[in-house]
Amino acid sequence: MSERFEQTTTTTCGYCGVGCRLEAHRADGNVVSISPALDGPANKGHTCLKGRFAHQFARSRDRLQAPLIREGDGFRLATWEEAINKVSTALNGIKADHGPDAIAGLASSRATNEDCYVMQRMMRAAIGTHNIDNCSRVCHSPTSFALRKSFGLSGATGSFDDIEQADVALLIGVNPTQGHPVVGARIKQAALKGLKLITADPRRIELADYGRIHLGNRPGTNAAFVWGLIGVVIRDGLIDEDFIARRTEGYQAVEEMAHTYTPEAVEEVTGVPAADLERAAHMYAGADRACILWGLGVTEHKYGSEVVRLLCNLALMTGNVGRPGAALLPLRGQNNVQGSSDMGALPDTFTDYRPVSDDAVTSMFEQRWGVEMKREKGMKIPEMFDAAVAGGLKAMYIFGEDVAQTDPDTAHVAEALESLDFLVCQEIFENETTRYADVILPSSSFLEKTGTFTNAERRLQLVEAAKEPPGEAKTDFEILMTVSAALGHEMEYETPSDVMDEIAEMTPRYAGLSHERIGRKGLMWPVAADGTDSPILYTDEFELPGGKAHFAPLPYKEPGDAVDDDFQLILVTGRRLEHYNAGTMTRRTGNVDLMTGDVLEIHPDDAAPRDLDDGGIATVTSRVGEIKLPVQVTDRIEPGHVFTTFHFPEVRTNLLVGQSSDVNTSCPEYKVIAVSVEHAQDREREPALA
């Protein structure tokens, strides 16, 4: 350790789902420098500019450092005792007057597994409702649903090491060099050493320059595209007949449906040339070992969960499951979006996705917690907002989630928050959501807490506090424990390690988990009682009755939105390298100097007739909202489409997003939004409506 640092703490990054291990160096009570841990299993001694440099937010002057209570149109400082008393009095009063289901909670996918477990226990045992959800609802819930249906478990089938062991990798609806930079770098390095890349995205992502084939499929046509690959694989005899016969069920129905998806028919729907589709299918199916990676460009669609099941079909029919270099790797967005759901912060399941409707499972938790619980599932996030507007939901406890900025149909979310009788926000900064709060509880960043995160590989890794929360702020673990006790339900944990011990005790597939066993290298669930973990799933059998995987004959269907005479372009949203999600953390660091605001990417063919040039201001209008953005003209985006991010709250990109959502999980359709784009001056010259 360098003499200029008073302490160095090894922890896990709190940005994306890669799970980079970091060394946080402290001086004068603050983290002043971060370097990558050389033995990090996911990052292998590397990190991105967010993980390494964007840590100044933790000592930002506008950190919440004391509880705030609403007074009139603003907030006043309060003591912890006063704030906790107000929260417990209000929630207990609403529970007494309207029942426990008039209250709902959102756990944080930025927080630890232990925090999320305590949060869902508080909602279920202290309040008495299954109205608990987390932000996986609006990102990778379709992935979880589909993987459980096709294979049995809700997680990647392998690890990032499979990228280096693969011969071919299909990347669809994911941009790793921007959203998951360390994995993006690993893919680049593998491509330079011979990995053949196939990229499929409406934008020509950076990794397309390292690939063999780029397929610019139209937004909303992923299902047709994957069916096109499946059809060619079957037509040209590239299936693994032995694997299908021994380890799967339902292939015949898929084979029968595939014949309608000829390359020529798929080209009509997707815009992907038939010859390119055939080349891609042969490249993937002809490989000895092939991986599939996907992201929100697959899941955030009306039929996102069905497309993930089709990707599972493609892997199954070619035998690319359960072997080194043959993994399905969903790139999870937030640092613990996998773990928050694994821990039971969902309205229908406890830990390990065991349903609340299962009497034996619920009875076990009842006995452990000393309470009685319903067997009916609670509300998902969109249902919570609808219920608030309708008057049935009276209060929410929102932990580490800026729903007024990140969730779709922003106007509807704002109306829901305004309709509540009481709102608690547990946060590190004031944000768009805290504007509606009655009480704000100041909490901890990832640099100030202890516990575990679960990355996109299913790998649980330790998080260690490198500093204390500022001022009177407390750790999330301490806050939730205190609130639960004030609500009448005492939890017996002394440390987050005790929470993990209970998780292991109550969850057979996590039986061998403990902070001591996780150590520096982490453990990938399932973890046997002796501590043996599972880097590769399904080596022998799938986790479904009979041990066989299930094929899914799900046809292509039209997306929830489409262009017409009034809305001629499709908006796609995504991330940039410099910032993260709503920018709550990165905009308070030097990264804001690297990217100072959002822009609208538009193809030259679409910019010219609209008289749009680089730097000009465009008015973007959807069926539900309108925003203004500076323009960037680029041929990286396919004609007929525009692209922007949602990193800057002042833009309010999600005003444009309607309520179309995945048919199985209610994940919003962020990726297919029909819009009109005009020069802002042209809009200003239009006569005002009477």
The last residue of one of the domains, among 468, 496, 524, is: 524
How much is the average pLDDT of 439-465?
A: 97
* pLDDT in the model for residue 690: 26
Indicate which CATH number applies to the domain containing 417. 3.40.50.740
pLDDT single digits (tens) 266-293: 999 999 999 999 999 999 999 999 999 9
8-state DSSP, 198: E
Q: Which region among 151-155, 492-496, 682-686 has the lowest average model confidence (pLDDT)?
A: 682-686
Indicate which CATH number applies to the domain containing 147. 3.40.228.10
Is 604 within the bounds of a domain?
yes
Per DSSP, the three-state class of 468 is: coil
The residues facing 200 across adjacent strands are 172, 215
Same domain, 149 and 129: no
Give dist(CA 117, CA 58) in Å, integer.
Answer: 24
**The three-state (H, E, C) secondary structure of 212-251, written as one string:** CEEECCCCCCHHHHHHHHHHHHHHCCCCCHHHHHHHEECH
Asked if residue 685 has pLDDT above 80, the reply is no
* pLDDT in the model for residue 5: 82
Same domain, 45 and 106: no
Is 472 within the bounds of a domain?
yes
Give the model's confidence band at 590: pLDDT under 50 very low, under 70 low, under 90 confident, else very high. confident
What Å distances lie between residue 658 and 63, 183, 220, 667, 675, CA to CA?
Answer: 32, 32, 15, 12, 11
Give the model's confidence band at 182: pLDDT under 50 very low, under 70 low, under 90 confident, else very high. very high
Is 551 within the bounds of a domain?
no
Beta-carbon count within 10 A of 531 CB: 15
Asked if residue 619 has pLDDT above 80, the reply is yes
Give dist(CA 626, CA 632) in Å, integer.
Answer: 18
Residue pointed to by tokens 């709250």? 649
pLDDT single digits (tens) 162-181: 999 999 999 999 999 999 99
Same domain, 303 and 231: yes
Indicate which CATH number applies to the domain containing 599. 2.40.40.20
Nearest to 480 by CA among 79, 123, 137: 123
Is 231 within the bounds of a domain?
yes
**The three-state (H, E, C) secondary structure of 124-171, written as one string:** HHHHCCCCEECHHHHCCHHHHHHHHHHCCCCCCCCCCHHHHHCCEEEE
Same domain, 610 and 646: yes
Indicate which CATH number applies to the domain containing 22. 2.20.25.90
Same domain, 172 and 87: no
Beta-carbon count within 10 A of 207 CB: 23
* pLDDT in the model for residue 387: 98
Q: Which region among 24-33, 50-59, 343-352 has the lowest average model confidence (pLDDT)?
A: 50-59
Beta-carbon count within 10 A of 495 CB: 13
Asked if residue 105 has pLDDT above 70, the reply is yes
Is 664 within the bounds of a domain?
yes
Is 562 within the bounds of a domain?
no
* pLDDT in the model for residue 195: 98
Helices (H), 521-601: 591-594
Same domain, 80 and 201: no
* pLDDT in the model for residue 689: 32
The last residue of one of the domains, among 271, 298, 330, is: 330
Same domain, 174 and 272: yes
Q: What percent of the chain has pLDDT over 90?
A: 83
Asked if residue 3 has pLDDT above 60, the reply is no
67 against 588, higher pLDDT: 67
Same domain, 202 and 320: yes
pLDDT single digits (tens) 341-358: 999 999 999 999 999 999
Same domain, 161 and 282: yes
Average pLDDT over the chain reads 93
Asked if residue 467 has pLDDT above 60, the reply is yes
Same domain, 164 and 310: yes
Task: Return the structure tokens found at 122.
Answer: 């508080």
pLDDT single digits (tens) 382-411: 999 999 999 999 999 999 999 998 888 888
Asked if residue 360 has pLDDT above 60, the reply is yes
Give the model's confidence band at 333: pLDDT under 50 very low, under 70 low, under 90 confident, else very high. confident
Give the model's confidence band at 545: pLDDT under 50 very low, under 70 low, under 90 confident, else very high. very high
pLDDT single digits (tens) 654-682: 888 888 888 999 888 888 999 999 998 75
Same domain, 177 and 251: yes
Q: What percent of the chain has pLDDT over 70?
A: 98
Is 558 within the bounds of a domain?
no
The last residue of one of the domains, among 295, 330, 365, is: 330
Those residues whose C-beta lies under 8 Å from the C-beta of residue 14, and which sit 6 or more positions away, are: 110, 335, 445, 446, 447, 453, 463, 585
7 against 646, higher pLDDT: 7
What is the span of the domain harbouring residue 410?
68-139+354-524
Name the domain count of the chain: 4
How much is the average pLDDT of 441-463?
A: 97
**The three-state (H, E, C) secondary structure of 13-48, written as one string:** CCCECCCCEEEEEEECCEEEEEEECCCCCCCCCCCC
Give the model's confidence band at 582: pLDDT under 50 very low, under 70 low, under 90 confident, else very high. low
Contact present, 216 and 199 (Cβ < 8 Å): no
Nearest to 18 by CA among 482, 472, 522, 504: 522
- Sign of the Cα torsion 96, 99, 102, 103 reads positive
How much is the average pLDDT of 459-465?
A: 98
Task: Return the structure tokens found at 279.
Answer: 């080349």
Same domain, 667 and 681: yes
Is 552 within the bounds of a domain?
no
